[in-house]
Structure 1
Amino acid sequence: MRRLPAFPDLRSFLRWCDAAGEMCSIAQPVRLRGEVTAVHRKVLLAGGPVLCFERPLAEDGSVSSIPLIANLFGTRRRVAAGLGIEPADIAQLGEFLAALRSPVPPQGISDALSRWPQMAAALRARVKVLGRGVSQEERMGEPDLSRLPVQTCWPGDAGPLMTWPVVLTRDPGSQASDSGRYNAGIYRAQVLDRDRLILRWLPHRGAAAHHRGWVRKGEPMPVAIALGADPALLLAAALPLPETVSELAFSGVLRGARTSLAPAVSVPMLVPSSAEIVVEGWVHPGETAPEGPFGDHTGYYNSVEPFPVMRVSAITHRRDPLYLSTWTGRPPDEPSIIGEVFNDLALPVIRQQIPEVVDLWLPPAACSYRIAVIAIDKRYPGQARRVMLALWGLLAQFSYTKMIVVVDADIDPRNWDDIAWALATRYDPARDTMLLDRTPMDYLDFASPLEGLAGKIGLDATVKLGSETARAFGEVMRLSPEAEGAAERIVKAEGLA
């Protein structure tokens, strides 16, 4: 399955990008406030390379000695490369991951041997604990976040914001060595001062669940943040995995090599041994601060709300660290490009639960998950509505999908013209609309009448069967295969196409 070598760290992946002609260094100073985002955005929109800002310029005029890396996953090809594959293999990887999630018992020795890749992947899911990692080559005498080139992306942002942190937390009933009970998530982190961060995690996320457990115990929660992790860990932390699946273990499957961890230096945690920078600290019960506003993936600034404060106890790093960053905003942005790949990876898992699904598209322009278009193999009345309800309940992320359009298998759900034709000819607003009220919604959706609660709409744009309609449906016009074949020969012979 894996066509590319394992990338044990960010640097090995950057070397691959450089060899592929997808790396560009910018030697001139570029301001961390606004300018890095502006340059990154123009390059991303042009499908450009990974960027290395060699001399990030802070607001006080000082130049950081730590280069800033941006646009790491700015193209579909680089997202696939981070998974160790070519873009053409994304669907196949999705099938493989679905088989890992719900394996079928082998039927005899030959069947078991044919599944060796799955067994090898399971072995790679075990983490490897080292005594010390390269992420701990040096330790700041006093933790000082101002020494990191943390950018302020948008003019209305409240301050510097870490945008690619892999935040590690663990269950309050676990031991530091129990990596299987860790959560690794991408949660934005606002820099408050030299040794304090605000961690923004939403209530349904794994870190928030861990935090509630530590609060119930009345104890501070240990936290570690990996900055500049390897691509497999970055993507595993961003994937909407089931709660029972460890991101640390799953990254080993994606990487093609076991995840290496090392004991943290100031908190009872294991941390990625190959990361560029590790920030360690504690979140104390009840200690919060107003977070934001910050520009978000919706294209709007989010509202200011209290979130937990992390007191930094140590910062370790490589001898010559790199700082990885990005920006979020109205798509296309880096997260929306990653989301396009994740859409295709998730399709086989969705089919396991909803077998009639032929294809599914989450339009990136709709903030990657607010709208879903589903093509199904329709066989009975009411099937489209059943699929809508099943998708809304399948994964936590789909509970934030506010519009679902269901079409037949002859419609390309990734083609707006096809979707518009299906809506115009197979959908009746009075009959084929399903409305739900007061359902979970991302509180960043300012269209919602209530914070965290909103309506949902399902549009059944399928051909109506049986009791769904009182009149016969029209027949779709199609040319005969013979006419199509003749046309292809004639057009080719005349050089018309």
Structure 2
Amino acid sequence: MSFRDLRSYLDKLEKGGQLVYIHDEILPEPEIRKYARAAVDLPGGPAVIMDNIKGYKGKRVAVNVHGSWANIALMLDMPKTVTLREQFYEFDRRWSNPEAGEVKFIQNAPCQEVVIDKDINLFNIIPLFRVNRFDGGCYFAKASVISKDPDEPDNFDKENVGMYRLQVQGPDIIGMQALPFHDISIQLRKAEERNEPLPVAIALGVDPFLSTVACTPLRYDQSEYKFASALSGVPQEVTKAVTCDLDVPANAEYVIEGEIIPRQRFAEGPFGEMPGSYSGVRRQVRIKVKAVTHRKDPIFENLYVGRPWTEHDYLIALSTCVPLYRQLKETMPEVVAVNAIYQHGLTAIVATGNRFGGYAKSVAFRLASTPHGISYCKNIILVDADVDPFNLVEVMWAISTRVRADKDVIVIPNTPGMPLDPASEPPGMGNKLIIDATTPVAPEKVMREVRMVEKIEEAVAYQKVLAELQSRAGR
């Protein structure tokens, strides 16, 4: 099953027992974030739709849409009980031919059923709420921001769809965090060199694969729309924005159109970010809103991010792991899997074979030099190819029985860091920690001969037998 929009995914979640409704009247503050936090804390937590929000008659809010491995499995059209490792390989399989994705342009798009271009007041149009208690304002935490390269506006592959945090700072004013390594920062720099505004469109409530790809570390010249199509198996439907030459998701719930004010910065924040800490106040760009379009009965989808685990962690998990895995495997075929689900890869676990002595450490160096790993992957753990990097019991076993602190623990100081990481000091600088928990091979000297107990591969089939017996026993 594939999804043309958010609603078709919600239907799939509902059929799979992964969607619940809150019909009781609730206040936007603080109840929406409490439901969002509660949903993600439940094992296999469901998506939640709230349809009776005080002050916003007829408007709905959806949270925790990607907020469990069960939800992600259903997105991938897999049974919701499959393992994370199985989801990783399915995501990688779908990634095998991303350039084959299709884009379809349509007229009279659902996202433009209602057009507001006068007296815009976002606080009246959308049921806004603070994601965390001490946020500096109401945030869009799950918005797909569309922008073009000012030098190549007709190059569709360089039209960026990225997910950036957005603070509503006034009825028609939005603050946006654009970090130097974000693609939109490249476009912003080009626009500001000319002292020109950069047109942007903010899409809220899009299909689940586009949300996933919007926060995926792709190359600058790779189209997020094409990637989302390749992953989902159906064309991405887009339409032209009403105020500028941008291609926006045709089936989005809301599209906010505007432009970034050039050469000016304004206070933005604080915001409860993905490391589980408030990021403080920084000088960021500001967007002047020119129009808002939406469906007749829109759903405002937002994301809870804060102290892990949150929906943010689930959303970015596989889309962080697979690009890193593929970049490593291009030149290091011994790599069999990458687990970079922890805070967008701040900690990454790589399962690899050892071609020769010290090889695993070279895998870590390569990971630390990938476009994403440069700033994010600060704690890198290497395990043998027969260790499941998604199973922390196996990872801890490898660390406990293979690591020799004097030989296998390396700290590389003064390397690029992630500014939102509270351990980054100063913000944007840090260190790389490498823990090599692989089995030494020649010519590295092994102090003693020890044979590890092998896996019993056939036990997987027997697990299914036992699980069926267990389910019968509970009836």
TM over 0.5: yes
Which of 445, 448, 471 is equivalent to 1:473? 448
Q: What CA deviation, in whole Å up to 9, does each residue of 1:194-231 have, x standing for no partner?
A: 00000112110111111111111221110001111122
Corresponding position: 1:66 with 2:48: no
1:280 aligns to what SS in structure 2? Answer: strand
What's the counterpart of residue 354 of structure 2? 378
Displaced runs of 4 or more, over 6 A:
none
The correspondence of residues 196-275 of structure 1 with structure 2, limited to 5 A, is 196-275=173-252
- Paired with 1:35 and 1:156, the residues of 2 have a C-alpha distance of 15
1:327 aligned partner, one-letter code: Y
Percent of paired sites with the same residue: 28
Q: Is the 8 A contact 1:84 1:255 kept in 2?
A: no
- Paired with 2:196 and 2:150, the residues of 1 have a C-alpha distance of 9
2:407 aligns to what SS in structure 1? Answer: coil
What's the counterpart of residue 97 of structure 2? 100
Q: Is the 8 A contact 1:336 1:368 kept in 2?
A: yes
1:16 aligns to what SS in structure 2? Answer: helix
Deviation at 1:146, TM superposition (A): 0.7
Corresponding position: 1:391 with 2:367: yes
What's the counterpart of residue 16 of structure 2? 20
- Paired with 2:421 and 2:201, the residues of 1 have a C-alpha distance of 30
Corresponding position: 1:416 with 2:392: yes
Q: What CA deviation, in whole Å up to 9, does each residue of 1:106-162 have, x standing for no partner?
A: xxxxxxxxxxxxxxx72xx23222233111111124221112112102121111111
| Structure 2 CA distance for partners of 1:96 and 1:465, relative to 1, 3 Å | closer
What's the counterpart of residue 435 of structure 2? 459
Deviation at 1:44, TM superposition (A): 1.9
Deviation at 1:72, TM superposition (A): 0.7
2:157 aligns to what SS in structure 1? Answer: helix
What's the counterpart of residue 338 of structure 2? 360
The correspondence of residues 277-296 of structure 1 with structure 2, limited to 5 A, is 277-296=254-273
Q: What CA deviation, in whole Å up to 9, does each residue of 1:420-476 have, x standing for no partner?
A: 34333322222222221211111112222322011111122222334533x533312
1:131 aligned partner, one-letter code: Q
- Paired with 1:343 and 1:168, the residues of 2 have a C-alpha distance of 20
| Structure 2 CA distance for partners of 1:180 and 1:479, relative to 1, 3 Å | closer
Q: Is the 8 A contact 2:158 2:220 kept in 1?
A: no
- Paired with 1:338 and 1:25, the residues of 2 have a C-alpha distance of 21
- Paired with 2:241 and 2:434, the residues of 1 have a C-alpha distance of 48
Q: Is the 8 A contact 1:356 1:376 kept in 2?
A: yes
Deviation at 1:246, TM superposition (A): 0.5
Which of 311, 336, 342 is equivalent to 1:334? 311
Corresponding position: 1:53 with 2:50: yes
Q: What CA deviation, in whole Å up to 9, does each residue of 1:34-88 have, x standing for no partner?
A: 321111211222123221111224xxxx345321011111122322333455565
Deviation at 1:185, TM superposition (A): 0.8
What's the counterpart of residue 39 of structure 2? 43
| Structure 2 CA distance for partners of 1:93 and 1:424, relative to 1, 3 Å | closer
Which of 71, 75, 85 is equivalent to 1:82? 75
1:221 aligned partner, one-letter code: L
Q: Structure 1, unaligned stretches of length 5 or more?
A: 102-120
Deviation at 1:272, TM superposition (A): 1.4
Q: Is the 8 A contact 2:28 2:127 kept in 1?
A: yes
| Structure 2 CA distance for partners of 1:397 and 1:461, relative to 1, 3 Å | closer
Deviation at 1:173, TM superposition (A): 1.5
Q: What CA deviation, in whole Å up to 9, does each residue of 1:262-292 have, x standing for no partner?
A: 2211122221111111100011211221110
2:335 aligned partner, one-letter code: V
2:174 aligns to what SS in structure 1? Answer: strand
2:32 aligned partner, one-letter code: V
Equivalent pairs, count: 455
Corresponding position: 1:310 with 2:318: no
Q: What CA deviation, in whole Å up to 9, does each residue of 1:171-197 have, x standing for no partner?
A: 00133x543221001111100110000
Corresponding position: 1:153 with 2:150: no
| Structure 2 CA distance for partners of 1:473 and 1:94, relative to 1, 3 Å | farther
- Paired with 1:98 and 1:233, the residues of 2 have a C-alpha distance of 14
| Structure 2 CA distance for partners of 1:426 and 1:96, relative to 1, 3 Å | closer
1:76 aligned partner, one-letter code: W
- Paired with 1:134 and 1:417, the residues of 2 have a C-alpha distance of 47
Which of 109, 128, 134 is equivalent to 1:133? 109
Q: Structure 2, unaligned stretches of length 5 or more?
A: 470-475
Which of 443, 446, 455 is equivalent to 2:422? 446
2:71 aligns to what SS in structure 1? Answer: helix
- Paired with 2:403 and 2:250, the residues of 1 have a C-alpha distance of 55
What's the counterpart of residue 167 of structure 1? 145
- Paired with 1:239 and 1:190, the residues of 2 have a C-alpha distance of 21
1:38 aligned partner, one-letter code: K
| Structure 2 CA distance for partners of 1:74 and 1:417, relative to 1, 3 Å | closer
What's the counterpart of residue 11 of structure 1? 7
2:312 aligns to what SS in structure 1? Answer: helix
- Paired with 2:449 and 2:309, the residues of 1 have a C-alpha distance of 39
CA RMSD of aligned residues (A): 2.7
Deviation at 1:17, TM superposition (A): 2.2
